[in-house]
Amino acid sequence: MAERPKTAGGRKAKAIHLFLFRSAGGLGLVMVLAAVFGSVFAPLLTPHDAITLSPPDRLQGPSAEHWLGTDQLGRDTFTRILHGGRVSLAVAGASVAVALLIGGALGVLAGYYRGWLDVLIMRTTDVLLSFPAILLAIALIAFLGAGFWNLVLAIGVVYIGPFARVARAAVLTVREELYVEAAKALGGRDARIVFLAVLPSAAAPLIIEVSLRLAYAILYEASLSFLGLGTQPPTPSWGMMVADARRYLALAPWATIAPGLAIMVVVLGFNLLGDGLRDALDPRLKTR
């Protein structure tokens, strides 16, 4: 039997191989990168404009000129999907970043210091988690108003609780390790110990949580845009495209199905990516 790699480089190589070739993570990564590529380079991938109206071309079927047909206002559906991906991915990325920074920081403080601070932070997250996520996001949007940054803030607040709990659980498993105790005994400052000793060892669960929460954030953005609480016209958004085209589902199903498939593919890609990262980063799965 071949000897297991014992060096750090060998462990990293094995984790990368497991992620790319022995799980669905590689497929998920390809799907996510394709969505990001299409969104970033949207103006170069299609000659049409995502906003300009063309009434004579309304509700045309898929053709060589319009690969996915046109919508009820004559706009190219494929072009609007690419540009809509910019909004969906940007909202998802920004909101998860907000939740990671705030929730992750609170979870690290709660897990490292424990005591009354832990009780206060965890009870606050319990209050946030007691509300259904989509209803809490709708309530925040109703209070703040529609718009890109308000949407980012609303979805970010919804995810603060889950990130705080994941960070706290990860820190609790690390804070009693011998190298952390040794750093404290040598007089190391708490901030230095947290950043150099605790966080690197507790990062894996947070990385997995980020990939999975990105999928949910895209779903929430699409749901809120579908209800008219997301980005406003004429800026394209996948959820808003589905909402606008559903009235013409019998006449032009492509205008509704295409953005719906875009949502499904990207969400599936992030879920597969999260599963692959879990398999690669979980030491219990690596040893099987």
Q: What whole-number percentage of the chain has pLDDT above 70?
A: 89
In the block, tokens 């390790």 appear at: 177
The pTM of the full predicted model, rounded to 2 decimals, is 0.85
- Residue closest to 86 by CA, chosen among 53, 31, 37: 37
> In the prediction, which pLDDT does 134 show?
87
Give CA–CA dist 90/95, Å, rounded.
Answer: 8
Joined together, the tokens standing for residue 102 give 């705030």
Are the C-beta atoms of residues 163 and 104 closer than 8 Å to each other? yes
Give CA–CA dist 163/152, Å, rounded.
Answer: 16
Dump pLDDT digits (tens) for 221-272.
Answer: 999 988 888 888 888 889 888 988 888 888 888 888 989 999 999 999 998 8
Ordered by where they begin, the domains of the chain are 16-41+70-286 (1.10.3720.10)
Omega before 234 cis (within 30°)?
A: yes
Q: Which of 53-67, 78-92, 174-188, 263-277 has the lowest mean pLDDT?
A: 174-188
Q: Quick one: how far is CA 2 from the chain centroid?
A: 38
> In the prediction, which pLDDT does 268 show?
92
Give CA–CA dist 284/169, Å, rounded.
Answer: 17
- Work out the mean pLDDT of the chain and round it to a whole number: 84
Residue 129 has pLDDT above 80, yes or no: yes
Joined together, the tokens standing for residue 22 give 């022995």
Residue 72 has pLDDT above 80, yes or no: yes
Give CA–CA dist 219/66, Å, rounded.
Answer: 27
